[in-house]
């Protein structure tokens, strides 16, 4: 299994060089300074640190400093993919609402619920988008574990996403789906361990990558 799972130890903080604190709103600047004072992010490289800090800032949850997982070279590969202006498929409208500087799509309105509840609409919507756009599209999941499981099923069948940001949330399937994502060794991904996740996390991760791309 190939994965990079980083658990941060509390201690002396390191400056978030990639955040450029002198160019942001004073409130946001103070927020990042508080993050720096409470959490040591030096274990991450600059790109990873920018993503983790953005997630913490968006959620107000310092504990997201522990257990963020990056595939090898995830940041470099993600930025290269985003330069190609790929189609971005979100599993829910809340993720789309959190991403304001890039056009994203959600296909929940294109599919109908199954009579017995399975496959879920979220899973069907991901499959709809993948069938529409094919290889190279970016998958951003911040709600449904079934959407991530469907993405992984499609990968097993030959789908090659440009990037997967997997942050489903909940007590049924969220942790398991993310564990399975972390077993992938042929796609770039960013995710986290456990039951936590959610649309703000997924959107923050994507937005951090966009900001990093602007600085290249």
Active-site annotation, residues: 57
The Cβ of residue 36 has, within 10 Å, a number of other Cβ atoms equal to: 18
Map residue 197 onto helix, strand or coil. Answer: coil
Burial (CB < 10 A; 0-12, 13-18, 19+), residue 109, is exposed
Map residue 69 onto helix, strand or coil. Answer: strand
Sheet holding 163-166, edge to edge: 4-7, 66-70, 189-192, 163-166, 138-141, 88-90
Quick one: DSSP state of residue 68? E
Q: How many angstroms from the chain centroid is the CA of residue 101?
A: 16
Smallest CA-to-CA distance from 44 within 14, 19, 22, 12 is with 14
Map residue 72 onto helix, strand or coil. Answer: coil
């Amino acid at each position: 299994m190939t994965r990079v799972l980083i658990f941060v130890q509390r201690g002396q903080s390191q400056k978030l060089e990639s955040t450029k604190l002198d160019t942001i709103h004073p409130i946001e600047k103070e927020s990042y300074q508080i993050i720096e004072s409470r959490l040591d992010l030096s274990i991450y490289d600059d790109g990873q640190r920018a993503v983790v800090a953005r997630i913490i800032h968006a959620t107000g949850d310092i504990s997201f400093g522990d257990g963020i997982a990056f595939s090898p070279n995830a940041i470099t590969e993600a930025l290269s993919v985003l330069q190609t202006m790929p189609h971005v498929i979100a599993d829910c409208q809340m993720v789309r609402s959190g991403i304001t500087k890039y056009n994203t799509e959600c296909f929940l309105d294109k599919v109908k619920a199954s009579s017995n509840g399975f496959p879920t609409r979220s899973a069907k919507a991901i499959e709809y988008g993948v069938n529409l756009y094919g290889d190279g599209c970016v998958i951003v999941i911040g709600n449904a574990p079934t959407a991530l499981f469907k993405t992984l099923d499609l990968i097993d069948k030959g789908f090659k996403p440009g990037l997967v940001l997997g942050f489903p949330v909940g007590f049924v399937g969220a942790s398991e789906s993310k564990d399975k994502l972390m077993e992938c060794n042929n796609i770039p991904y960013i995710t986290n361990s456990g039951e936590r996740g959610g649309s703000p996390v997924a959107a923050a991760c994507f937005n951090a990558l966009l900001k990093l791309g602007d600085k290249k």
